Copies of this chain bind each other. A is one copy, B any other.
Amino acid sequence: MEISPASPCEQTNSGRLSTASRGKFPNGTTSSCAYLERKMRSSRLTVVGLGSLLGPRKPFGSFDRNRKTANNQHHGSCLVLEADRDEDMESVVTTGGVTWLNGGIWRDGETPAASATLFQDRGFVLGDGLFETLVVRRGQPVLWREHIDRLLATGTVFHFPLPVDFPEYAQKAAKVLLEYANEPSLQLGTLRITVTRGPGTTFGLDAPNEPSPTLMLRLTPTNRKSRAYPDRETAWIVDQPRIDTNSLLSGHKTTSSMWRILAHETARHHGADLALMKTLEGDIGEADTASLFAVIDEIIVTPPLNRGILPSTTRAFVIAELEAATRGLEERLIFPDDLDHAAEVFLTSSVAGIRALGAIDGRRLPEAVPVSKWLDTNYEAVDGHF
């Protein structure tokens, strides 16, 4: 059976890439804080606003931590978001998160310790940042050291001004964060570590002579997508942007992620959930945020790291598991045609784990996915530790 990509009209209903989804800037005519507060109290609707263009700049507290409102992300700033349905609101709001930023720490809905004036930060204006995303399982980060090591390696390549004690500093911060967030709902979570080159001299490219990096850690509850068929994710092989396998930037996790966003949006435009990304030579390197594996002619294959792909910690875990089970693995180029007769195609990443794809370019993949199920079970059993 074929899965057709959604037509532009169908896409409209999801609010993506359509006129209906065009963003709204704060409305200068209606968004006094008092107005917003009344509006929120009187209905399930909330209103986009962050003060008015020329209006009063009255600080504003949290409305209600237990309501599904976005203002608790922006405590003190009067920002709330508009939504017609609870589902829309859920798509915007990240609830229950805890943020650590340069020594300050707070839950969503609490007043930030620091005012977080990141507007001059090179991470914000230039994408001059590195990051790692880990899964937190039963209160501890999985593959912590591997992630920190990868961040350090990227920092070296990019002349990133990481302090010499970065690993210890980040670990201390993460422990503080995890302790602060000690709630049952955060026993399975996502921990994102973001480090930027900090405030810039100007908006030019010159890094400051005395850099003061920004470190942010944020922990949010993980909401895994079901891996049960037919809810498996679908992929689209996008033509560009392509991976330049010779680029120093390839294979690194930076906050300059626009090329991945563009690939992802293109896949979504074709009705798929995510993108498979080609190299300049036309083989598939990786998914937009995951590594690629396939079972072809009973051999498990994955692209080699020289395809400009991320040296993924979960990819390394999978390879080690296969070796431990004396199950063969072949690192080789994977071209789009190779996936036509794959028994399984699966992606691996820290947070989402090992998940089999349901379809590629609208063509459904087999229902039986024994290899990826076995690997996912093994990965899910891994406990975290520092």
* Interface residue ranges, A against B (CB under 8 Å): 14-17, 21-26, 28, 31, 48-55, 57, 59, 70, 73-79, 81-83, 88, 91-94, 99, 101-104, 112-121, 123-129, 131, 133, 158-159, 161-164, 166, 169, 172-173, 176, 190, 192, 194, 196-213, 215-216, 218, 220, 240-242, 244, 246-249, 254-262, 264-265, 268-269, 274, 280, 288-289
CB-based contact A21/B203 at 8 Å: no
Q: When the two chains form their complex, are residues A163 and B22 in contact, meaning their CB atoms are under 8 A apart?
A: yes
Which 6 A-B pairs give the minimum distances between C-beta atoms?
A127-B127, A23-B161, A256-B258, A256-B256, A57-B113, A23-B211
Chain B's closest residue to A55 (CB) is B103
Contacts of A194 in B (CB 8 A): 124-125
Identify whether the interface residues of A are mostly helix, strand, loop, or mixed: loop
A4 to B247, CA, bound (A): 26
Q: Is the pair B265, A158 in contact by a Cβ cutoff of 8 Å?
A: yes
> Which B residues touch A24, using CB under 8 A?
163, 212
A240 to B204, CA, bound (A): 19
Copies in the complex: 2
Contact A15 B248 (CB under 8 A): no
Would you call A114 and B51 a contact (CB within 8 A)? yes
Whole-angstrom distance between the Cβ of A124 and the nearest chain B Cβ? 5
The residue of chain B having its C-beta at the shortest distance from the C-beta of A58 within the complex is: B113
Residue of B nearest to A124 (CB): B124
Minimal beta-carbon separation of A246 from chain B (angstroms): 7
